[in-house]
Each structure stands twice: as C-alpha cells, then as structure tokens.
Amino acid sequence: MRILLTLFAVLIAPIAAANPEPADAVKGYFQALDRQDFSRALAYTEGAAKGRTSRMVEQLKSEAAANHARVEVKVKRLDVKSAGVAEPGRGVPVPVAFHIDVVGHKFCFSKVARKLDGEARFYLDPARPDRIVAIEGRLAD
C-alpha cells in the first residue's frame, strides 16, 4: 500500500506543479517585493501593470536617494482571494488585501516611513495566468 501511495505522490506532484493557480502570480509578485527583488516583481507583469510597478519602484528609489537612505519593502499582511471569472478586455481578476511597511534605513537607524494598507484587483492574462496585465486598487496611508 505504501508503494502505491508513494508512486501516486510521485506521479501527481509534477502535474499539480504544472498547473499553477492564477493567484500564484500575485503571491509571487508580493514575495518578490518583500525580498526587495524588484526585477522579479516586474517579471510577473506586462503592459499597464509593468508600468505601474516600474513607477512605484522608481519613486521608492528616488525618495531614498533624496534622503541618502536605503528603503526596504516589508509585506506584513497579504490576503489573496480566489480568482474570479475572466472579464472581457481586462483579464482574470484576483482580489487582494494587503498591509505593507516601507522602512527607511539611514546609518544604523531604521524607521517605518510609510504604512500602506490597501485593497487591489490584479488582472491576469487568461492565456498566460502567470502574467499580471493590470493593477487597480486603493492605497490608504
């Protein structure tokens, strides 16, 4: 019986890994932000989402440079809901609620410079659910 279970697990695991959930791209996006891997976060995006993410990263970098500081993004809370039904011309919506701390580091000091609580809707390409094509949302400082 154990041999059958092991064989089943070995055969099913690659199939499960080959069919990622639409929400996996959104989770990966936030994990990349949390690791300060902004190029990886950008890799999850296309089109309008790539532009919005790029502007956000550039704003963080320019504010840090203006203050001669280093900035760190810390994702404190993330609630990714199940993907909805594809909307024509928009994509597959994935609702997200999050709390992000933007921490500034200067010398040996660090301070939470900004707290971002928000809700957003990430739209994924129906043909490529690993790509975020649009981000619509509300941020509250």
pLDDT at 18: 53
Q: For residue range 11-43, list pLDDT tens digits in order.
A: 454 444 556 677 899 999 999 999 999 999 999
Distance from C-alpha of 82 to C-alpha of 95, rounded to nearest angstrom:
7
**Quick one: 24 exposed, middle or buried, by C-beta within 10 A (0-12, 13-18, 19+)?**
middle
pLDDT at 4: 44
pTM score, two decimals?
A: 0.80
Return the CATH number of the domain spanning residue range 22-140. 3.10.450
- The residues spanned by each domain of the chain are 22-140
Please say if the pLDDT value at position 88 is more than 60: yes
Phi, psi of 78 (to 5 degrees): -145, 125
Lowest mean per-residue pLDDT among 6-15, 40-49, 83-92, 128-137:
6-15
Angle, alpha carbons 73-35-21 (nearest 5°): 110
Q: Which helix (H) or strand (E) holds 24?
A: helix 23-34
Q: For residue range 91-114, list pLDDT tens digits in order.
A: 999 999 999 999 999 888 999 988
Cβ partners under 8 Å of residue 41, min gap 6: 29, 32, 33, 53, 57
Please say if the pLDDT value at position 7 is more than 60: no
Distance from C-alpha of 97 to C-alpha of 138, rounded to nearest angstrom:
10
